[in-house]
Amino acid sequence: MRQRRKKNALAALRQYARTDTRDAVERCELCSMAIPSRHRHLLEMESRQVVCACDPCALRFEYVVGGRFKLIPRDPHPLSDFKMSDVGWDSLALPINLAFFYRSTAEERIIAMYPSPAGATESQLTLEAWEGLVAANPVLAKLEPDVEALLVNRIGETQAYYLAPMDACYRLVGLIRMYWRGLSGGEQVWHEIARYFERLDQQAVPLREARYA
């Protein structure tokens, strides 16, 4: 059962990566109401498909536990005081200095994913490694399971960390799938990644201490 769920999750990530770069969906996938280009998303829990929704449909699932759909948070939050050493990052042995980490209800564990030309790829993450991050950064204990991730950007001299909605993480995956060329990715993909994080910073909302206290 766990292996089947894992395959479903990876397939859904790849499917979202393929489609996210197309034009925005214009109708709610639950009620067919016309929706603006910036709208809410739900996560279909079994398949991990991202579903576009109007506000009335989306908010029906805001506090639902154990249902078919779960509401994905709207805003990314920068973690300006995040603590992670170079040694700690290197110990994760990721092939690219981009990754996101989320708590999977189905798998009952933290899953580490990194974007690649083939889509989102899972990397092994030990419980000890995650517990060490949580000890240094208690905010991680309050991640919303399944729909919110720790997004890490350590490309070049950058060291940026976010609490990011899952759809934003999938969007990064889709971008890399679209623009990666050759072995090193090519100049354009790195330009697009930089633009992605510029937009993420513009959309970011300061962390509300009341929510994560």
List the 49-53 sheet strands across, edge first: 49-53, 40-44, 69-71
C-alpha R_g of the chain: 17
What angle is formed at CA 205 by the lines to CA 203 and CA 206, rounded to 5 degrees?
A: 145
pLDDT of residue 21: 43
What are the residues facing 44 on neighbouring strands?
Answer: 49, 69
Residue 82 and residue 33 in one domain: no
The parent domain of residue 8 ranges over 2-71
**Is position 137 within any domain?**
yes
Last residue of a domain, one of 14, 42, 71: 71
pLDDT digit string (tens) for 124-137? 888 899 999 999 99
Last residue of a domain, one of 43, 71, 99: 71
**Is position 138 within any domain?**
yes
Residue 119 and residue 62 in one domain: no
**Is position 90 within any domain?**
yes
Residue 61 and residue 84 in one domain: no
Residue 135 and residue 92 in one domain: yes
Question: With the C-alpha atoms ordered 156, 10, 150, 192, is the resulting torsion angle positive or negative?
Answer: positive
Residue 199 and residue 132 in one domain: yes
Residue 62 and residue 130 in one domain: no
Residue 82 and residue 180 in one domain: yes
State percent of the chain over pLDDT 90.
64
Structure tokens at 7: 């395959």
**Is position 213 within any domain?**
no
**Is position 189 within any domain?**
yes
Residue 96 and residue 131 in one domain: yes
- Tell me which amino acid residue 30 is: L
Residue 22 and residue 46 in one domain: yes
Last residue of a domain, one of 49, 71, 93: 71
**Is position 92 within any domain?**
yes
- 3-class DSSP state of 98: strand
**Is position 20 within any domain?**
yes
Q: What is the pLDDT along the chain (213 residues), one digit of tens a residue?
A: 555 555 555 555 544 444 444 444 479 999 999 999 889 999 998 888 899 999 999 999 988 778 899 999 999 999 999 999 999 999 888 989 999 999 999 899 999 999 888 888 999 888 899 999 999 999 999 899 999 999 999 999 999 999 999 999 999 999 999 999 988 889 999 999 999 999 999 999 998 744 544
**Is position 199 within any domain?**
yes
What is the pTM (predicted TM-score) of this model?
A: 0.83
